[in-house]
Structure 1
Amino acid sequence: MTTYHLDLGDGRTEALDSVTKLTLVGTPVDIDTYAVGDFKSPVPLWGSVVLTRGEQRHPATTRWAEDVENTDTHQDIVLIADGRRIRLAGAYASTTYHLDEDDDPDAFAISFTDITTDK
């Protein structure tokens, strides 16, 4: 099972329960497949992904995730998947994510302008 962390920079890192629903330029992509793949693109791969928070929460993540659609919060972040670093450029909390009231209330979607991996 892959472990995930969200890194907002400056030591603001938080463990995540899950990372799901990665979409790149409108196409669903499995996050684990992306993390181990060798994706290269001559154009930015914009998209979105759903992050689910764990029990240990960093206050910076709370502030960032709750400030939905605020253009001032766009920033480059890193998702760490079992040591692999996935960089999301221009990321921001785009919406809260609930299919119904039984879904995890700590899941939120982020959008980004480009995605790359450090190998």
Structure 2
Amino acid sequence: MTSYHLDLGETRTEDLANILNLTLDDETVDIDEFVTSDTDSSRPRPGELVLMRGDSHHPAASAWLNDVEDTSTHQDVVIIAGDPTSPRTRRIHLTNAWATWTFDRDDDNDDEADAIGIAFDDITLK
């Protein structure tokens, strides 16, 4: 299984425990297979996935979650598949992404979501 990291910009990342339920055009796709594929699409591929956060929550990621929990806030998201320090590591770009739901194990701390559902208008690999 590949390790995944949320790219927070300015060389900051947060380790993700997992990425689940990647769907593209209503078809379930294995995220590890998608990352190793060379598929390139000339048409947008809308979809959804679930980001499972690790034990260590970066403050920038928590702030980002607060922003995207507002479903009217859409932004591009980058997920790093593998070593975030390697320039050859593949990056998953989610275009015009927004949160569809969040889950907190501890309801007393709303800015520390443990899982977040993300919908997007397109997905590309670089």
Q: What TM-score do you get using the length of structure 2 for normalisation?
A: 0.78
Partner of 2:80: 80
**Higher alpha-carbon deviation: 24-33 or 84-93:** 84-93
Runs (5+) with no aligned partner, structure 1:
99-104
Runs (5+) with no aligned partner, structure 2:
83-88, 105-112
2:125 equivalent to 1:117: yes
Supply the distance in 2 between the matched residues of 1:86 and 1:95 (Cα, whole angstroms). 20
Partner of 2:115: 107
Q: What TM-score do you get using the length of structure 1 for normalisation?
A: 0.82
Cα RMSD (Å) of the superposition?
A: 1.8
> Runs of 4+ in structure 1 displaced over 3 angstroms?
none
Supply the distance in 1 between the matched residues of 2:76 and 2:8 (Cα, whole angstroms). 8
Supply the distance in 1 between the matched residues of 2:125 and 2:93 (Cα, whole angstroms). 6
Supply the distance in 1 between the matched residues of 2:65 and 2:23 (Cα, whole angstroms). 19
Q: Matched residues, percent identical?
A: 47
2:45 equivalent to 1:39: no
**Higher alpha-carbon deviation: 8-17 or 45-54:** 8-17
Supply the distance in 1 between the matched residues of 2:8 and 2:45 (Cα, whole angstroms). 20
